Chain A
Amino acid sequence: MNSSRRLGMVLMLPAVVLVILFFLLPVALTAVFSFTNMSTATGISGGAWQLAPNTIQRLRDQYGMGELAEKLGQPSFVVDERGLQALEASGIEASIVGELRAAHLGETFPSRREIERMIRGLKDRPSTPEVKRISAEFSRSLANARFGSEEALFAAVEAIDADLTQEERAALAAASYTGWSWTTENFRRMVSTPDTGRTLANTLAYVALTLVLFNTGFAMVLALATHYVPERPAGAFRILWLLPRITPPVIYVLMWKWLAWDTGFLSAVLDDFGVAPRNWMLGSSANAWVIVVLINGLVGASMGMLIFSSAIKAIPQSLFHASAVDGAYRWQQIRHIILPQLRWPILFVTCYQTLSLLTSFEFILLSTNGGPGGSTEVWALAIYHTALNNYAGNLQYGYGAAMALVLVVIGIVLSLVYLRLFNYGALVQRPLIEH
């Protein structure tokens, strides 16, 4: 154990801990959660067992246990020791309780009418209010009762139906459980629902349009244009076009709203030319697409602009001078000198931005929020709307995790591919001090 090795491990420790806690663990948990039906309704910790009306319905329809369902669904009355003791404590005459215990203990009645008929038939002839009180004490209806464990549920049900089969127990537990459970339903749903295809198409269109038009295309225009102007204005333009990137997204999108809103700048200016004011952001899905691509594109363009600019700066000036002497036009310089030199930067920006566009959604969330009518809902935003925030308040964590898992897998695969592509191994040099 040499000193640099020990020091190295200590100094790496914080980074390793953060990576495990906030990268490796969430990746694994995304996969785990995607096989559950967690939602706002089931909660994220364990649940309880409840015989709600829909439980009864599921028992009948899904498990074909109509008989059991009927028994559980009806109010039912059992003459048991618990009820008798409660009656004694509430001051009902001892002779009534005694007769009930002697002659009727253990009897079950499917309805209030039947148990009350039995009570009226007792020797002491209880008064009507007494009959009501007695029957109420024997009510063992389980409708909407909640139980903390399966055993408590079975014990309560067996008071009504003493001979529960193993099969019935299993069905009962499954149908009445309110917590989350394991399932592969999320993936089946993802493949079958038409929303998936639509969201996927939106995502591809959004990534392709933004990437080609702005993140590389417009970025290249800016880099080339600032290359051909004197240094001082070039610097000013680069700073100006960097502004969208350094502006916090909430403010940046706010400025777009000011521009495109129905009472905004664009409407006011066009009003002078006889165009009726309208919402240029959400007025139609074509409007929304233009704005979404512009908003993301102008932010993305700045990165390409800076990378391409510095790559152009690295080209030997003599090439430009020589071609200028030969009478080359600008587009000839661009075509034959600059672009061939920019192959790697272009590839880098394309790769990098593909992944980041695929997974980023904050600008769309803040501007159109997927609208109008879901026409700009991309995959990453759909995850947000499914699992993290929506108007209905019904958050489906499990399904959202399954959708996120798709992006996580794409992210891992593409990052590994990029690692090979850009040959980062060459960047590792051996330390010169060995100990």
Chain B
Amino acid sequence: MTGNLRSWPVVLALSLLSAPLVVMYAYLVIDTVTNSPAGSFVPNELTLEHWSFLWDTPRGRPNIWRVTLNSLIFASSSCLIVLVVSSTAGYVLSRLNVPGRSFFLAGVMVLHAFPAITLIVAIFLVLQMVGLYNSLIGVILVKAAIDMPLGIWIMKGFYDTVPWEIEMAGIQDGASRFRVWRSLVLPQVGPGMLALGLFSFLLAWSEFVLPQVLAPGNRVQVLSVYLASLIADDNNFDMALFKSVGLFYIAPVLILFAIFQRYLMNIYGGGTKG
């Protein structure tokens, strides 16, 4: 682009920098379907044995499909709550004349910057006291609450781009503010809802610390906790098995990201935790 400056040295440097990352991801796939001789990383046979966890449940571990179902329930419920709460609160902060609106907005910003993970000790004790420890409901509510400030902020941004004229026209025609929101404004922010929904689904799907602390039991285990406990078990070290479970676990993430990359990039660029 910039005139007399060549770009191939930069591409080469970037490629070298990126090589380790590429190797790590390539072997994440390769190792799950091949065997290599000891001490070597060049595969010499194809095999499906590492995927046997899909039909054989190891003793003392929950069934993989049960765990996958838990993960699905966890991620989609959390995503649903974030969507409902953010699409309503975001609209209020963007458009409605409520008392203390700027206070709420500042509150959302502070909550977004505030590291909610520091509250985990108190939340852990409270869930134990009210009996929601080791239940999916408890961890879903906590995850949704923690992701909510970002969701509200993103939805407010999307509502801000909707032209006021749409709402004014609706009011002129005699619709209530609720009706205007529900039938006129909400369809306008559809792409935003899709992006936020995907994003919060992926966030919950990847979450490890919350379910590990708040719902570690076999009955409510999610994929991240399942995989972490496989890896932590010193008696059965089997890297190929870990990677197969890992690939099984990451596949939905990669597929969703590949399909909806255009929507998601906005949010990833907009300042998320990590």
Contacts and interface: CB of A to CB of B under 8 A. Distances in A.
Contact of A359 (B22, B101, B118, B269): B118
A400 interface: yes
Interface of A: 2-5, 7-9, 11-12, 14-15, 18-19, 21-23, 25-27, 29-30, 33, 38, 44-45, 222, 225-226, 228-230, 233, 237, 239-251, 254-259, 261, 265, 268, 271, 298-300, 302-303, 306-307, 310, 320-321, 324-325, 327, 330, 333, 348, 352, 355-356, 358-362, 365-366, 380, 383-384, 387-389, 397, 400-401, 404, 407-408, 411-412, 414-416, 418-419, 424-425, 427-428, 430-435
Contacts of A310: 269
Given A362-B208, A431-B95, A250 B224 contact: yes
B253 A44 contact: no
B224 A255 contact: no
A250 B106 contact: no
B4 interface: yes
Contacts of A244: 21
Nearest to A424: B109
Q: Which of B104, B115, B120, B242 has the most CB of A within 10 A?
A: B115
A14 B88 contact: yes
Contacts of A302: 268, 274
Q: Main SS of the interface on chain A?
A: helix
Given A233-B11, A246-B257, A265-B41, 13 more contacts: A11-B181, A12-B104, A14-B84, A44-B125, A225-B13, A230-B7, A237-B18, A249-B224, A250-B224, A259-B20, A303-B274, A355-B115, A433-B177
A360 B117 contact: yes
A321 B3 contact: yes
B48 interface: no
B271 A404 contact: no
Contacts of A241: 18, 21
Interface residues on B, range: 35 or more
Contact of B105 (A29, A33, A245, A428): A428
Interface in B7-40: 7, 10-11, 13-14, 18, 20-25, 27-28, 31, 39-40
B274 A360 contact: yes
B249 A251 contact: yes
Contact of A427 (B11, B105, B176): B105
A401 B118 CA distance: 9
A1 to B, nearest CB: 11
A255 B141 CA distance: 30
Interface in B24-68: 24-25, 27-28, 31, 39-41
B124 interface: yes
Nearest to A429: B160
A435 B3 CA distance: 56
A80 B101 CA distance: 73
Contacts of A259: 20, 24
Contacts of A240: 18, 21-22
| A-B pairs, 7 with minimum CB distance | A8-B98, A22-B145, A359-B115, A324-B3, A248-B206, A15-B89, A8-B96
A310 B270 CA distance: 10
A348 B121 contact: no
A366 B208 contact: yes
B250 A251 contact: yes
B224 A419 contact: no
Q: Which of A19, A38, A303, A327 has the most CB of B within 10 A?
A: A19
